[in-house]
A and B are shown apart, each in its own frame.
Chain A
Amino acid sequence: MLMARSEGVIGCETCGLAQRAEPKSAHMVCTRCGATMHFRKPDSISRTWALLIASYVLIIPANLMPVMATGSLFGTEKDTIFGGVVYLWTSDSEVLAIILFCASIIIPFAKLFSLSFLLITVQRGSTWNPRLRARLYRMVEAIGRWSMIDVYVATMLTALVQFGNLMNIRAGAGAIAFATVVVLTIFAAKSFDPRLIWDAVDRSESNHSTSEELHV
């Protein structure tokens, strides 16, 4: 299989112009648009792991600490994400509860697990169902920013609902952790190079062919 890398050809990721790689320098910019170009994202796996581990660490306080502190005449209420889900569920807003549960709990965790799965498979050079994994990655990338809704809601409310003693909302430490998790996972997804999925497949295929050739 012909691969751009093996032929020394590199495509600009921004403007799409194919060009010949400068073999001496590791760092290249597009001749046309000046964007940085890589054959593969540099240190993709370790970077993604680093961001992912940071996310794993921070998702714990994000879920355990209060996201919002609602102060009103009726006292201060501190709510964690899960507390909010439970509150919505018990107050007969099951649909909202499901949406919040998906957006704020399932998606971040799913992202973390998906990225971990992708990283592990890439590192092990797995050839298992690369198409599915590529789709998984696209989903992770697309869906990642949706989790920011929670953070946006919290920040908007904090900014808008400031009526002194009557009612005020403060963002809790959990919100910061949660926002950090979301941002870190977005970066992690960004730093992961999906081409690595196919590299392994290619390698195994070429190995296969060479071994076949050797045998034959």
Chain B
Amino acid sequence: MSDTSKGPELPDLPVAIGQAKRRWAPQIIWIIPIIAVLVGLGLIYKAVVERGPTITVSFKTGDGLVAGKTSVKYKEVDIGLVKAVVLSEDHQQVIATIQLNKDAADFAKEDTRYWIVRPRITANGVSGLSTLLDGPFIAADLGKATEKQEHFIALEVPPILTGETPGREFILRAPTLGSHNVGTPVYFRRIPVGQVIAHDLDKDGKNVSIKIFINSPYEQYVTNNSRFWNATGIDVTLNTSGIQVQTESLIAVLAGGIAFEAPDALDANPNASAKTDAFLSEKAKQDKVFNLFPTREVAMKQPDARAQRFVINFKQSVRGLLVGAPVEFRGVNMGEVVSIEVAMDPQTFEVIQPVEIYIYPDRLQVRSIKTGKLLPPPKDELARLRALLAKGFRAQLNTGSYLTGQKFIALDFFPGAPKYTLDASRVPLEIPAVPSELDDVEKSLASVVKRTDKMMKKLDEQVLPQFDKTLKNVNAITESDSPLLLDMRDSLRELTKAAASVKTLTDMLDQQPQSLIFGKPSQESK
């Protein structure tokens, strides 16, 4: 409003209206920056205080890891963010720097596990599908340790179980892993109750330890006498009641599985005391080791808590006998063959085949023949063995199948067997062998052959020359110019003549019977 006209003598301007208005103090405007500063400080405080620890996790590959985008989740809740993804100094790994949230500071602990969640499709299902769209994220599983740690190595495969899953771990020992893998389900009465979480070769390389996890509340069904078996295949049995097919669920058939069950007939084992009974039916402890049997049938066999080792020294071929072949007593399986060897005495050069066997003594029930009552087993088993041996208890190699030539060891009483005294100091104890039935047959057959052979020789040496001589004589007799023949011919001629004379006589007598009395009539009277 500048006015070029000079002086206060301005034309009649209206006078502005003065107003006494209550005005805020001018300092009130400073509230705004104060609020701004407070807000700013609040944000800084939040950023500083709510900032959790920074950790680094190394991965094999950085596939899908994006700095500032990839989040770290626990129970599907973000607990941190990947701040940087760099290669390690040796270029072998990818190191992700992760900023954890303040409330997730606990995750910077020694045994916390980290892994990348990617879509996975297995026989048991599909997981991590959401990451198809979202991109992978890093999952964490809170550890229990108290030691803090800043650098972690990510797992290659997601762990089956996260720390808080209730349940119990057990260890199965098997000769081979079979078709089991991490994630293979474990069934109890065909209900999936757990899974394989790890497998490892034993240090000696002889067995495989399979770690399984049974989810709560099913872990209570794993008792000390539980049997685990491979529920992988289809078990077809043919017996008098028809064909029986036993399988676990179809998935188990396809993807493999492990089943377990406790044998319910505890009373079938009277030898077990009440104390062991209680122990067997007790819930199994964490990390208890079980054997993994190949089939249910094998698994559910009577538990052979005790196995006694014996040796049988065969002096015959053990061809057809295999390790694992049954040891039977009158057709009842009592044990199995453990090893088959051949040994030679350095002095006598006698060669024997020591066959070691296991006998499960508990399979021999002790019961009174009269009352049929089960009795406690004898205390002194050595004495029992001695008594049995005295009665002719012997081992014999028998053929199980003539088709395949497989053999087994039969135990039986052979009252006629040669006497044997048990040497109790020998380990393992020896059960004397008797020759097998087939052996006897072979022997007698051999002797028959030998005798026949002898006879033939005799025939050849003594009888035949004489026979030859006789034949020669006969030959000489029957030759055409032999005197005997000539004589015979003459005699025959005479005989014919005699016969003709007789005929003439009979004819004449027929016509003139009176001639016998009156003599021969003259020619004219005829």
Residues in A lying within 8 Å of B, measured CB to CB: 1-4, 7-11, 17-22, 24-25, 27-32, 37, 42-43, 46-47, 50-51, 53-55, 57-58, 60-61, 65, 73-75, 77, 173, 177, 180, 184
Which residues of B are found within 8 Å of A21, using beta-carbon distances?
A: 15-16
Give how many B residues have a beta carbon under 8 Å from the other chain's beta carbons: 34
B2 & A57 in contact (Cβ 8 Å cutoff): no
Q: Which residues of B contact A58 (CB under 8 A)?
A: 36, 39-40
Q: Please report the C-alpha to C-alpha distance between residue A105 and residue B526 in the assembled complex, in whole angstroms.
A: 187
Note all chain B residues with C-beta closer than 8 A to A55. Answer: 36
Q: Report whether B135 and A75 are in contact in the complex, using a CB–CB cutoff of 8 Å.
A: yes
Q: Are B40 and A10 in contact (CB under 8 A)?
A: no
Query: B10 near A9 (CB under 8 angstroms)?
Result: yes
Contact B13 A22 (CB under 8 A): no
B1-37 interface with A by 8 A CB criterion: 1-6, 8, 10, 13-21, 23, 26-27, 29-30, 32-33, 35-37
A residues in contact with B33, CB < 8 Å? 50-51, 53-54, 57
Number of residue pairs spanning A and B whose beta carbons lie under 8 angstroms apart: 117
Given contacts A27-B18, A74-B133, contact A61 B13 (CB under 8 A): no
Q: Hey, which chain A residues are within 8 Å of B350, CB to CB?
A: none
* Shortest CB distance B309–A (Å): 65
A9: B residues at CB distance < 8 A:
1, 3, 10, 13
**Chain B residues with CB under 8 A of A43:** 26, 29
- Asked if A19 contacts B29 (CB within 8 A), the reply is no
Q: Which of B138-196 contact A (CB under 8 A)?
A: none
Q: Which residues of A contact B6 (CB under 8 A)?
A: 2
Are B21 and A31 within 8 A (Cβ)? no
Which 6 pairs from chain A and chain B are nearest by CB?
A25-B18, A22-B18, A11-B1, A54-B36, A43-B26, A54-B33
A-B contact pairs, 30 of them (CB 8 A): A2-B6, A7-B3, A7-B8, A7-B10, A8-B8, A11-B1, A20-B15, A21-B15, A21-B16, A22-B15, A25-B19, A25-B20, A27-B23, A28-B19, A29-B16, A30-B16, A31-B14, A32-B14, A42-B26, A43-B29, A46-B26, A54-B32, A54-B33, A57-B36, A58-B36, A65-B43, A74-B133, A75-B135, A77-B69, A184-B36
Closest to B70 in A: A75
- Taken together as a complex, chains A and B put the C-alpha atoms of A42 and B28 apart, in Å, by 13
Q: Is B134 an interface residue (CB 8 A)?
A: yes
In the bound complex, residues from chain A placing their C-beta under 8 Å from that of B35 are 54
Asked if B36 and A73 make an inter-chain contact with CB atoms under 8 angstroms apart, the answer reads no
Q: Shortest beta-carbon distance, B33 to chain A, in Å?
A: 4
| Cβ contacts under 8 Å, B17 to chain A | 22, 28-31
Q: Give B residues with C-beta under 8 Å from A.
A: 1-6, 8, 10, 13-21, 23, 26-27, 29-30, 32-33, 35-37, 39-40, 43, 69, 133-135
Chain B nearest CB: distance from A89 CB in Å? 16
What is the minimal beta-carbon distance from A72 to any residue of chain B, in angstroms? 8
B43 and A61 contacting across the interface, CB-CB below 8 Å:
yes
Report the bound CA distance from A77 to B66 in whole Å.
11
C-alpha spacing A8/B3, complex, angstroms: 12
Q: Which residues of B contact A7 (CB under 8 A)?
A: 3, 8, 10
Shortest CB distance B9–A (Å)? 10
Min distance, Cβ B451 to any Cβ of chain A, angstroms: 97
CB < 8 Å: which of B5, B16, B19, B133 contacts A20? B16
In Å, the complex CA distance between A30 and B16 comes to: 6
A17 and B14: CB pair below 8 A?
yes
Closest to A6 in B: B8
Q: Which residue of A lies closest to B17 (CB)?
A: A29
Q: Report Cα–Cα, A85/B189, bound state, in Å.
A: 62
Q: In chain A, what residue has the closest Cβ to B78?
A: A76
Indicate if the CB atoms of A19 and B18 lie closer than 8 Å.
no
- With A47-B26, A75-B69 as given contacts, are A4 and B1 in contact (CB-CB < 8 Å)? yes
- Bound together, the chains give a CA A110 to CA B19 distance in angstroms of 39
Given A28-B19, A30-B16, A53-B33, 6 extra CB contacts under 8 A: A7-B10, A9-B3, A27-B18, A57-B33, A57-B36, A74-B135
Asked if A27 and B40 sit within 8 Å, CB to CB, the answer is: no
CB distance from A94 to the nearest CB of B (A): 22
Q: Are B19 and A27 in contact (CB under 8 A)?
A: yes
In the assembled complex, which residues on chain A have CB atoms less than 8 Å from the CB atom of B4?
Answer: 2
Nearest B residue (CB) for A31 = B14
Q: Are A27 and B32 in contact (CB under 8 A)?
A: no
User: Which A residue's beta carbon lies closest to that of B27?
Assistant: A46
Q: Which residue of A lies closest to B42 (CB)?
A: A61
Complex Cα distance, B36 from A1, in Å, reads 42
- B14 pairs with A20, CB closer than 8 A: yes
A33 CA to B1 CA, complexed, in Å: 17
In whole Å, how far is A47's beta carbon from the nearest beta carbon of chain B? Answer: 5
Asked whether A10 and B8 contact (CB < 8 A) given A43-B29, A47-B26, A73-B134, the answer is no
Nearest-Cβ distance from residue B18 to partner chain A, whole angstroms: 3
Measured between beta carbons, the chain A residues less than 8 angstroms from B30 are: 46, 50
Q: What is the CB-to-nearest-CB distance from B83 to chain A, in angstroms, rounded to a whole number?
A: 13
- What's the least CB distance linking A50 to chain B, in Å? 4
Interchain nearest-CB distance for A152 vs B (Å): 22
Write out the residue numbers on chain A whose beta carbons fall within 8 Å of the beta carbon of B2. Answer: 1-4
> What is the minimal beta-carbon distance from A149 to any residue of chain B, in angstroms?
22
- Closest Cβ of chain A to B30, distance in Å, is 5
